[in-house]
Every structure is written in C-alpha cells, then in structure tokens.
Amino acid sequence: MRFSKSLVLITLSALVISFAKASDPSPLQDFCVAIGDLKNGVFVNGKFCKDPKQARAEDFFFPGLNKAGDTNNKVRSNVTTVNVDQIPGLNTLGISLVRIDYAPYGQNPPHTHPRATEILVLVEGTLYVGFVSSNQDNNRLFAKVLNPGDVFVFPIGMIHFQVNIGKTPAVAFAGLSSQNAGVITIADTVFGSTPPINPEILAQAFQLDVNVVKDLEAKFKN
C-alpha cells in the first residue's frame, strides 16, 4: 500500500499533537508526592474545586491593594500577594497578582518564580530592574530603568530583581502566569536553608572563605 506525502505529514502531525496533549500538567506547588493509600491522599495539584452552584462573588474578590505594604525590613520592600490563597476563584485559571512597595533605595532582591512568567508595571517612582538568562545563554543581564507607566517582563524561571533608585517611595503591580507562582529568594534559599548547606560546599561554589559563608549563614538563619 502506498502512502502520499501529504497523508504521512498529516499522520505525523496528529501524532505530535497527541503527544503534546498527553504531557503532564504543570505543577501548581513545589511538589506533589505520590501516595498508594488513597485514604491518606489529602492534596491535589492545586486546590479542590467547590461545587460551581455554591460559588459566590466573594470567591472572586480581594480588597485592599490600594494600601501600601510595610517596607520597614532589611530589604526595604514589601510584596502583597493576591493568589489562589487569597482569591479561591483563581483556582485553575493560571493567573495571580502582586503589589510591590519599595522604600527609597529598597529592593526586591534577586529571586525566581519557578512556575510563572511575570509582567510588571511601575505606577510610582523609579526602578532599576533586570533578569539574568540561563547558563546556556551565557548568563546575560537584561536590565532597564523604569519610570511610571513602563512595563517589563521577567520570563519564567529567570533570576530577576527590582531596585528603587529614587529618593521617594515606588509602587509597582505585577501579573504572574500561575495561580501559585512560588518564589525562591536566592540569598535566603542558599544561605538560610533548613538544615543549612555545608559551608565548605558554598565556599567552593561562591569562591569565598569558609568563614565568610558561616557568617552569611548566621545572618540568614531562619
């Protein structure tokens, strides 16, 4: 039996599409450990769904993003998160929001969102923002100074930061492409893990004296 080229291409395309649709769903939390005993299975990838007939307007509502967050801390910034934990109606919708307040010269230190791309718009002040690409792209820095009304995108998984370079407070809002984007603050994670990472490992990785690493771990200890 002979097959035409067009038929072969259609068949291959169908197979590719079927494989793509058969892929695993993206994780909505840090991990979801499989369990054999269903009686002890408590968590799902995301949240359990309410009966749609029981949904209320309050399930899709959050008040208060007009209020500034408290920036009286070491990094002089505050992130107010509005994700599925604050708005249950966000479950399965793949989106969330944050408000970020920065004191003068405050920063949202280098961090990454393992499950989301972020798009940020500056409302007040002046920010220096940027992200660093992966090792395969030679760790290039993409950075800009933002003024009110400017928008910047941080691709999923990329380490990024924002710094208020002005003498007045700054305010930004950001959308994230996940109901639970997650956040990994680099310094806190590396030097403040529980239990701590062996200082000699970090000393070699960061090319630092081991006593410097021990001092950093003491500062970031939870």
160 assigned to a ligand binding site? yes
Backbone dihedral angles phi then psi of residue 176, each to the nearest 5 degrees:
-130, 140
211 assigned to a ligand binding site? no
For the range 73-79, what are the long-range contacts, defined as Cβ-Cβ under 8 Å and sequence gap of 24 or more? 75/106, 75/107, 75/108, 75/109, 76/102, 76/103, 76/104, 76/105, 76/106, 76/107, 76/164, 77/101, 77/102, 77/103, 77/106, 77/107, 77/108, 77/162, 77/164, 79/108
Quick one: residue 92, left, alpha or beta (phi over 0 = left, psi -120 to 50 = alpha)? Answer: left
217 assigned to a ligand binding site? no
111 assigned to a ligand binding site? yes
78 assigned to a ligand binding site? no
Residue numbers belonging to the annotated binding site for Mn(2+):
111, 113, 118, 160
Binding residues: 108, 111, 113, 118, 160
Which residues are annotated as part of the binding site for oxalate?
A: 108, 113, 118
